[in-house]
Structure 1
Amino acid sequence: MNLKLFALLLLCGILTGKAHSQELNLFSYWYIEDNAIGFISLSDVYALSEHPDSSAIPDIKKLSVDQSLSIALDGAYRQRFFRGTGISESDNVYIYNYAENKLKTFKAKELQVIALLDFYASVEEWPFSQYDYMIGFQIDNSQLTDFKENYYDVLVYIGKETPFITGALEPITWDRAEAKDKTLLSTVPTDDSFFTDREITDYTVGDTYTYESGGYTYYIQNLFDGNNELFVRHLIVLNSATKKLVCERLYDQWEGNGLTSLNIRGEENEYADYQWTGKLFNGMDPVIFGFQYFSFGCPYITILNSNDEEVYIYCDNRH
């Protein structure tokens, strides 16, 4: 399949009482340019049955190769999808573009469920098995025209009520840290295990940048290896009033992921709005995200507290 894809983030889950990170299931959303459709794969949470009478898809041998590239799932196959994913026909699909601050709502019962051949499968492998498909919702992208074709900064939740706090996320513009900031950081008792667990011992601290908002002071440090190449960024978030540590993370890069650009005040950056922070979910602490991109594995959103909470995104990455 020759598909051109644009990924955006999708949040899908069920909230019971207050929202907690473990109650939010995150998924990727794809805009499939060749088909001009949006697609939400829920295959990561759809447990497929080995029994032929419970297959997630119809008998591929009864379809041509072209017909089997994308299959509309109706009747028993649609029912199995809802049972297998735990989503209800009565749920709503809330699509929130936080960069544009636009929120759209769709009814799950009105959305087509489809099986889309995995991007790494080959037509030469026909007839395909159910494991060769991504199964999920098809979205009519024409209904998202006011997103201005910005599908990267989108989060989606599937449930009875929206969990989103709209208009409360902001892109981070970093300032270069001053001497007083570096002095303060030297007094903060950070967690050495972040380094020892990754066997990070030989490094040099490079530039440090800072940002302040919502009662928090953020610091991001560039760390360089023995070859003077950037390989890790160290995030430290303090309570602005107490100077106490709120959250700490290390972001590294390797074969499967890389470090995104920083939007630094006074410097031109074509991809300026990678990092975002602020309130996002009702009943939860503020969040921060956007420091890495992933070729292998899936991204996540960090909750700003001392509990090491992350909201991971199911991205159906079949590398």
Structure 2
Amino acid sequence: MKINTAIALLFLPLVIISCKKDEKKPVENPPTITKDSVQTVKTEEEIDFKNFNIFNISTIQRNELMDSFISVSDIYHDKQAVPIEFLKKQKEVPFSNMGHVELDNQYRKKLLNGSHIAESDTLYLYNYGANKLQKIPVNKLKTVAYLSPYTTEGEEIDSDSYMVGFQIDNQKSMDIFDKYTNSLAYFGNRNPFVENKMKMIKWEKAGNDVQKKYFSGSKLKYGGIYQSKYDNLTYYVQDLLEEYGTQERKLVVINEHNEKVFEKTFINDDGVEFYPLEKTENDDVNYSAQWTGILFKGKAPVVFNFSSASFGCPMITFIDKDKTELEIKCDNRH
């Protein structure tokens, strides 16, 4: 089903408050913060997170220059997503000519219908590191297909060999890669992102008392323990080691009342590599840094980027009692 654009006019009544001299307002008691609760941003524009998808932005080299592109192949599975006439040429043209094709109106409509994106929707590109929000109407974007980098010359090329989606930049310089570092993309009729509420985590070493209080009882060898703060929350991370490095990374989040509101264990599964937590000389360009903050309207704070995965896509973890996770669609074809 397509998402229809809804335009709502919101009329706010003017409230006129009058008071007499020396008249005092009663003081309200502060709200009680219960265990397993954290602050969220309440907004009149809360987003419906049913069938909610966010994407990463890929940069692809073509003709010695760079394109930027959002693949929606993780949610669009049409077996004829690429024009048949184009695929038939693969035996007649050089392999390099098969690397890219712009989709015509017929295949564009199939992509939009199959991915539940409307021409009237907007692409919201949010760089949470630089706090920059870019808005592009979907009807201004080209629909394109790029050959997967895992397809090699001599293989039979079919529709599944292509990443299909929307082109953002066409034939730019190599430094375009940095433009989309720490960025997320969303297609819809309302902006889901909360601006200026994300923070790169800068870890400091914590004491052994923290280890004894929150991380005792493991059979693994204890590694480094770190701490950081975000608003009213304190984060503690404990690395647990085996012979070849970190096997588990435990995260505990404490509120200002010293109540544990969240805990999670990240495990070194096959293909997973933990990012280091130590400070680097230049934190501002630390591509492997962790991030936290309020990223989405009406939702709990998030934390992510503790590890890289060879298989699958990165996950954003919400600091809530359900330990909700949201996958960043990345079209990983390992």
Task: Specify the TM-score bucket, using the shorter chain as the normaliser.
Answer: 0.7 to 0.9
Structure 2 residue 227 is matched with structure 1 residue 214: no
Corresponding residue for residue 18 of structure 1: 46
Corresponding residue for residue 238 of structure 1: 254
For 2:310, which of 295, 300, 311 is the aligned residue?
Answer: 295
Structure 2 residue 169 is matched with structure 1 residue 140: yes
- Cα deviation for residue 134 of structure 1 reads 0.8
Corresponding residue for residue 171 of structure 1: 200
Unaligned runs of 5+ in 2: 7-44
Residue by residue, what CA displacement relative to the aligned partner does 1:11-58 show, whole Å, maximum 9, x if unpaired?
xx9999733655421323211133411011111111214xxxx65423
Equivalent positions of 1:208-287 (< 5 A) are 208-225=225-242, 227=243, 229-241=245-257, 243-264=258-279, 268=281, 272=286, 274-287=289-302
Residue by residue, what CA displacement relative to the aligned partner does 1:236-286 show, whole Å, maximum 9, x if unpaired?
112222x2222222223344120012144xx64676461011111101011
Going from structure 1 to structure 2, the CA distance change for 1:272 and 1:140 (only over 3 Å counts) comes to closer
CA RMSD of aligned residues (A): 3.0
- Give identity over the alignment, percent: 32
Structure 2 residue 103 is matched with structure 1 residue 86: no
Going from structure 1 to structure 2, the CA distance change for 1:269 and 1:22 (only over 3 Å counts) comes to farther
For 1:97, which of 97, 113, 127 is the aligned residue?
Answer: 127
Going from structure 1 to structure 2, the CA distance change for 1:228 and 1:115 (only over 3 Å counts) comes to closer
- Cα deviation for residue 82 of structure 1 reads 0.4
C-alpha distance in 2, partners of 1:148/1:55? 27
C-alpha distance in 2, partners of 1:44/1:117? 15
Corresponding residue for residue 10 of structure 1: none
- Greater Cα radius of gyration, structure 1 or 2: 2
Going from structure 1 to structure 2, the CA distance change for 1:186 and 1:28 (only over 3 Å counts) comes to closer
Alpha carbons 2:314, 2:327 under 8 Å: kept: yes
Give me the TM-score of the superposition, normalised by structure 1: 0.80
For 1:162, which of 173, 179, 191 is the aligned residue?
Answer: 191
- Cα deviation for residue 121 of structure 1 reads 1.0
Count of residue pairs the alignment pairs up = 286
Residue by residue, what CA displacement relative to the aligned partner does 1:82-136 show, whole Å, maximum 9, x if unpaired?
011110011111111111111111111111111111111123124x211111100
Going from structure 1 to structure 2, the CA distance change for 1:71 and 1:245 (only over 3 Å counts) comes to same
C-alpha distance in 2, partners of 1:247/1:143? 43
